[in-house]
């Protein structure tokens, strides 16, 4: 019973709730709370969130507002609750109801895909439930979202569930505000929803019935148990799965997929299974079990009994938990992990449709586990690491995208714009209504099919967010596909185009990630990565920038060395070792003094004369200050991934993995020099190479060389940062760029900086690598527009 007018303290309130409150079961929660408290009124969605008009005793109303925040449904994020008194009387004789959405303002946006909730998991495993073993079970608190949406509004008709008409039982749930499936757009059951089946590699459906198995999933699990490789169609794409305890199966998968050393992600039934193979902190366990259900990189336990080449040369393993009922049912019988790597051929993006998967994966998978719900958008697994109290995202996709990031203070009025990102690990970013909306990870645009999906995703996001850009933002690199695409778009539609320097974008992304306001004093950014286009037309990648959102000044960098052979030097680390040794020591001196070293003999077997000629003529030898190439050079020097990388970042990742705590405590830091080049402070590795060669001569193992290098470089970088911070009276240091994903380096660097009294800020919502670049471009573009610059 609603309180009646005339009672003491009776009043009406207009309550607006902002944040992620649409499509997550917020209105039914409001409805339930109002009924609980005996309030009358209504709740509805509109263009800006949820609006509630409610009447009752004032203390009950206060209680109601409090509970809106404490009892919000699991996928909701309440950012703000605004209230004002309503002077109109309550509508007569109604109680509390959910009103249809305001037709004048279309509901925009879509929420991330969420892992199966506890209630749905229980139903799937309950033999008496009508959804027993049903792989597409979901509810308002869980299930697919971004991966199934084609258009707005987010209604079933605009998703890949449109072709499945709900049966009466599902429809009753869908219409009942008291039901967990009220307005759950992908609601389905075995009677009316999508189904799974098994096929062999030639596309023939497999009759599991003959094997006395319960269903296709049971049969699929049996096949994995027998060592087969399965192509599994999941939520956001295909995976290739096999038994991680079966060395022969893992080796076969590597061979067929031509994935030589890149680590495989793993999936395990529950945290207990994972804890047998990896160290697992409470924070890491929470991350694994979060609705986003990302792949979490975990430190491997010594002597873990798994196939040896799951993650060659790495100390960590990437684990995730089953995040849909399909995965839950597949994993149920395994007390050991399964490999769950993306279902693609070497460098291509993950397959999403049955037909393409049959073609692309038939030479890799023995069996296909398919289903008939289309994947509207490819959404890869997210990859994160738990660092201290926080989270370090390495790939932001399923479960995180497209959750908006509130723009820093001062940029609330920014016009709608789109930032197109970089080239590798790409994302794009929309700015609208004071928020930045990052796409999911879309991969390397050099790959034609990834570029096609990138364009498709831009189209979808533009529609879903009703986005009409007033300006475009691109990287300054003229050769990036995203840059050329942006330039064509801008000229076709006569829109202003802003070009942003790569490392400025990295630092701005880190500033926005940490919520620094537009008027925040300038910070010192350390942007270390592979390669980015420099303001002088060179290739940068080891930069000290004094920056705010509007501009930057290059104060320092790593010494430049020729990238001999251009892109080949990115793939062949020995070229970087040669370039640095040649400039720092001299090739003839190296031959004269160190000819007994395995390193020198190995370099001597390369076409040195040809390289010398290229250097002499300045052919294909652009100078670069890239930090990534420094790690490659040192890795090559100790024999790690020397000749050729089998995946991006391999040399640096394996060099880092060599470092152990004992060596860090015992080894001396390598010395580095400092130079002044023009107005910049430059770090010189010449003293480091002398010490490294001496270590190699003394027969120091690679692990100790790696430890001395990490110690020395982080100390040198912190030293230069300290000097620059003092000179420019700056107290905040921001770390960004792919190299900062090196945990050992970042931890050491952070330690040195903090003990010098500097505040250190790192990424925690977007990746430090180029996956976060579009956020930086977006805030720089927004800042320029807000301050009246182009």
What residues make contact with Fe ion under the rule CB under 5 A?
529, 532, 770
Between residues 180 and 385, which has the closer beta carbon with respect to Zn ion?
180
CB of 166 to Zn ion, least distance (A): 6
CB of 324 to Zn ion, least distance (A): 11
CB of 196 to Zn ion, least distance (A): 16
245 binds, options Fe ion, Zn ion, none, Cβ within 5 to 8 A by partner type: none
Reading the block at residue 224, the tokens are 């994995």
CB of 155 to Zn ion, least distance (A): 17
When computed from its CA atoms, the radius of gyration of the chain, rounded to whole angstroms, is 28
189 binds, options Fe ion, Zn ion, none, Cβ within 5 to 8 A by partner type: Zn ion
| Strands 196-200 and 77-86, sheet pairing | unpaired
CB of 628 to Fe ion, least distance (A): 9
| Strands 383-387 and 471-475, sheet pairing | unpaired
Give the dihedral sign, CA 471/475/477/481. negative
CB of 118 to Zn ion, least distance (A): 8
> Which spans in 587-701 are helix H?
587-594, 598-604, 608-617, 627-637, 650-658, 661-666, 686-697
Q: Check whether the bond before 153 is cis (ω within 30° of 0).
A: yes
770 binds, options Zn ion, Fe ion, none, Cβ within 5 to 8 A by partner type: Fe ion
120 binds, options Fe ion, Zn ion, none, Cβ within 5 to 8 A by partner type: Zn ion
CB atoms within 10 A of CB 314: 18
Residue with tokens 């994972």: 274
CB of 393 to Fe ion, least distance (A): 15
Between residues 141 and 582, which has the closer beta carbon with respect to Zn ion?
141
Q: Which residues bind Zn ion (CB under 5 A)?
A: 117, 120, 139, 141-142, 167, 170, 189, 191-192
Residue of this chain nearest to Fe ion (CB atom): 529
User: Are 435 and 407 contacting, i.e. CB atoms less than 8 angstroms apart?
Assistant: yes
219 binds, options Zn ion, Fe ion, none, Cβ within 5 to 8 A by partner type: none
CB of 777 to Fe ion, least distance (A): 12
CB of 126 to Fe ion, least distance (A): 49
Q: Which residues contact 14 (CB under 8 A, 6 or more apart)?
A: 51, 52, 53, 83, 84, 85, 86
Between residues 627 and 669, which has the closer beta carbon with respect to Fe ion?
627
Q: What region, left, alpha or beta, does residue 617 occupy, with left being phi > 0 and alpha being psi -120 to 50 degrees?
A: alpha
Angle at 562 between CA 626 and CA 262, to 5 degrees: 50
* Chain length of the chain: 790
> Which spans in 473-561 are helix H?
481-492, 502-513
Give dist(CA 327, CA 331) in Å, integer.
Answer: 6
| Strands 539-547 and 523-533, sheet pairing | antiparallel
Name the helix (H) or strand (E) containing 745.
Answer: helix 743-755
Burial 109-126 (b: 16+ CB within 10 A, else e): bbbbbbbbbeebbebbee
| Residue ranges with strand state E in 448-567 | 471-475, 497-500, 523-533, 539-547, 552-558, 561-562
702 binds, options Zn ion, Fe ion, none, Cβ within 5 to 8 A by partner type: none
Between residues 234 and 443, which has the closer beta carbon with respect to Fe ion?
443
364 binds, options Zn ion, Fe ion, none, Cβ within 5 to 8 A by partner type: none
142 binds, options Zn ion, Fe ion, none, Cβ within 5 to 8 A by partner type: Zn ion
Between residues 62 and 536, which has the closer beta carbon with respect to Fe ion?
536
170 binds, options Fe ion, Zn ion, none, Cβ within 5 to 8 A by partner type: Zn ion
CB of 253 to Fe ion, least distance (A): 31
Between residues 189 and 407, which has the closer beta carbon with respect to Zn ion?
189
Give the dihedral sign, CA 523/524/526/527. positive
Give dist(CA 668, CA 572) in Å, integer.
Answer: 28
CB of 257 to Zn ion, least distance (A): 33
Between residues 164 and 368, which has the closer beta carbon with respect to Zn ion?
164
Between residues 189 and 762, which has the closer beta carbon with respect to Zn ion?
189
Between residues 228 and 327, which has the closer beta carbon with respect to Zn ion?
327
Between residues 20 and 637, which has the closer beta carbon with respect to Zn ion?
20
Between residues 239 and 506, which has the closer beta carbon with respect to Fe ion?
506
192 binds, options Fe ion, Zn ion, none, Cβ within 5 to 8 A by partner type: Zn ion
139 binds, options Zn ion, Fe ion, none, Cβ within 5 to 8 A by partner type: Zn ion
CB of 381 to Fe ion, least distance (A): 22
Between residues 404 and 649, which has the closer beta carbon with respect to Fe ion?
649
529 binds, options Fe ion, Zn ion, none, Cβ within 5 to 8 A by partner type: Fe ion
Angle at 205 between CA 199 and CA 209, to 5 degrees: 105
User: Are 641 and 635 contacting, i.e. CB atoms less than 8 angstroms apart?
Assistant: yes
């Amino acid at each position: 019973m609603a309180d009646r007018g005339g009672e003491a303290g009776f009043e009406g309130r207009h309550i607006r709730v902002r944040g992620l409150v649409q499509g997550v079961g917020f209105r039914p929660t409001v409805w339930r709370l109002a009924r609980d408290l005996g309030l009358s009124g209504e709740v509805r969605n509109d263009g800006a969130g949820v609006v509630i008009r409610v009447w009752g005793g004032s203390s009950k109303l206060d209680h109601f507002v409090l509970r809106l925040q404490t009892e919000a449904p699991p996928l909701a994020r309440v950012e703000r609750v605004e209230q004002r008194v309503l002077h109109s009387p309550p509508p007569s004789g109604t109680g509390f109801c959910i009103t249809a959405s305001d037709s004048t303002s279309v509901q925009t946006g879509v929420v991330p895909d969420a892992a199966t909730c506890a209630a749905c998991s229980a139903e799937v495993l309950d033999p008496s439930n009508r959804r027993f073993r049903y792989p597409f079970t979901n509810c308002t608190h869980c299930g697919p979202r971004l991966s199934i949406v084609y258009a707005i509004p987010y209604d079933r008709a605009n998703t890949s569930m449109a072709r499945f008409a709900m049966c009466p039982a599902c429809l009753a749930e869908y219409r009942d505000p008291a039901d967990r499936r009220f307005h759950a757009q992908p609601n389905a059951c075995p009677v009316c929803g999508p189904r799974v089946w098994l096929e062999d590699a030639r596309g023939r459906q497999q009759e599991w019935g003959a094997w006395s198995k319960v269903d296709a999933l049971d049969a699929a699990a049996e096949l994995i148990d027998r060592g087969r490789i399965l192509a599994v169609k999941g939520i956001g794409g295909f995976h290739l799965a096999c038994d991680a305890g079966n060395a022969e199966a893992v080796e076969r998968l590597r061979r067929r997929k031509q994935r030589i050393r890149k680590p495989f992600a793993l999936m395990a039934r529950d945290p207990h299974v994972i804890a047998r193979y990896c160290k697992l902190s409470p924070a890491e366990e929470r991350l694994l079990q979060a609705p986003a259900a990302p792949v979490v990189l975990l430190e491997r336990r010594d002597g873990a009994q798994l196939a040896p080449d799951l993650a060659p040369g790495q100390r960590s393993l990437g684990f995730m938990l089953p995040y849909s009922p399909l995965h839950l049912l597949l994993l149920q019988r395994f007390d050991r992990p399964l490999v769950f790597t993306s279902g693609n051929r070497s460098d291509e993006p993950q397959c999403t449709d049955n037909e393409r998967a049959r073609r692309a994966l038939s030479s890799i998978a023995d069996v296909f586990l398919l289903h008939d719900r289309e994947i509207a958008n490819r959404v890869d697994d997210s990859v994160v690491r738990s660092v201290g109290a926080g989270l370090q995202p390495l790939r932001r996709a399923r479960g995180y995208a497209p959750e908006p990031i509130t723009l820093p203070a001062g940029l609330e009025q920014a016009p709608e714009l789109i930032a197109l990102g970089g080239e590798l690990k790409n994302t794009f970013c929309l700015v609208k209504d004071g928020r930045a909306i990052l796409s999911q990870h879309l991969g390397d645009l050099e790959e034609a099919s990834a570029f096609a999906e990138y364009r498709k995703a831009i189209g979808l996001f533009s529609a879903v967010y009703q986005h009409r850009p007033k300006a475009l933002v691109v990287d300054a690199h003229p050769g990036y596909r995203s840059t050329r695409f942006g330039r064509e778009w801008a000229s076709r539609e006569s829109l202003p185009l802003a070009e942003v320097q790569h490392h400025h974008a990295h630092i701005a992304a880190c500033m926005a990630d940490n919520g620094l306001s537009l008027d925040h004093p300038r910070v010192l950014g350390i942007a270390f990565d592979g390669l980015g286009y420099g303001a002088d037309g060179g290739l940068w990648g080891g930069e000290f920038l004094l920056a705010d959102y509007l501009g930057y000044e290059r104060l320092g960098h790593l010494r430049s060395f020729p990238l001999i052979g251009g892109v080949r030097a990115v793939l062949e680390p020995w070229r970087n070792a040669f370039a640095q040794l040649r400039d720092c020591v001299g090739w003839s001196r190296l031959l004269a003094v160190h000819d007994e070293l395995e390193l020198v003999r190995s370099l001597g077997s390369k076409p040195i004369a040809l390289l010398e000629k290229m250097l002499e003529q300045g052919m294909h030898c652009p100078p670069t200050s890239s930090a990534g190439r420094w790690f490659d050079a040192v890795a090559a020097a100790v024999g790690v991934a020397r000749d050729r990388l089998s995946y991006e970042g391999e040399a640096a990742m394996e060099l880092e993995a060599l470092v152990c705590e004992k060596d860090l405590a015992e080894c001396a830091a390598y010395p580095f020099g400092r130079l002044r080049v023009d107005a910049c402070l430059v770090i010189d590795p010449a003293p480091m190479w002398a010490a490294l060669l001496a270590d190699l001569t003394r027969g120091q193992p690679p692990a100790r060389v790696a430890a001395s290098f990490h110690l020395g470089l982080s100390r040198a970088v912190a030293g230069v940062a300290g000097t620059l911070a003092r000179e420019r009276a700056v107290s905040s240091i921001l770390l960004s760029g792919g190299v900062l994903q090196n945990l050992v380096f970042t931890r050491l660097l952070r330690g040195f900086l903090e003990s010098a009294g500097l505040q250190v800020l790192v990424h925690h919502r977007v990746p430090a690598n180029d996956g976060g670049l579009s956020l930086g471009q977006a805030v720089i573009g927004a800042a320029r527009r807000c301050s009246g610059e182009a």
